[in-house]
Amino acid sequence: MKKMIYWFLNPPVTGQSSIMLIRLMAGSVFFWEGILKFVYTNQGVGRFTKLGFPFPETTAHIIATGEIIGGLFLMLGLFTRIVSLYFIIQMIVAVLSTKISLYFGTSPLPAPPAPPKMGIWAVLHEIRSDYAQILTCCFLLVEGAGRRSLDFIISTSKKLYVIGDRHLSVSQ
């Protein structure tokens, strides 16, 4: 358990600066999707109600707030691994709760505007952005935020000295 916590809290930060572009893309999509859940009822409370989520208003607001804050964190490169894992789980739940019924043609949500309207091809077409977000977050989970990030600034503001078998951390 200690190793897992260490892994999450000490992401690699020496990755290329261009990782920032990936973070900006994923983070901004989550950020504006979170805002949309507050602004448009059909994207937030209405959608969660149709899908049968318990406490749809509370659930929609919690998810929306998480997307806004998490999106900002990804854009800034702060707690990148933790936020990425959160978004991977969230996107898997979103796909399972909205796309499985599309496969069977029983979705409570409006059908896609153009064929295919049900079946595997409809699901694959409809999950394309979810799939891209999941894989992007998987990349960030593994690679970390890169050099142009707050994770980098935080990790390089500490120096670690090893004296014998003792580790001493000194902040600059």
Write out pLDDT tens, residues 134-171. 999 999 999 999 999 999 998 887 655 445 556 555 54
3-state secondary structure of 27: helix
Q: How far is CA 78 from CA 54, 83, 127, in A?
A: 31, 8, 27
Write out pLDDT tens, residues 79-103. 999 999 999 999 999 999 988 888 8
Beta-bridge partner residues of 159: 170
Among 1-10, 14-23, 158-167, which stretch is predicted with the lowest mean pLDDT?
Answer: 158-167
Tokens encoding 18: 């261009």
Q: Give the chain's domain count.
A: 1
Could you give the CA distance from residue 99 to residue 118 in angstroms, rounded to a whole number? 10
The range of the structural domain enclosing residue 70 comes to: 2-171
* Beta carbons of 137 and 26 less than 8 angstroms apart: yes
Q: How far is it between the farthest Cα atoms of the chain?
A: 67
Whole-model pTM: value is: 0.85
For residue 163, give the H/E element and its range. Answer: strand 158-163
pLDDT band at 115 (very low <50, low <70, confident <90, very high): confident
pLDDT band at 28 (very low <50, low <70, confident <90, very high): very high
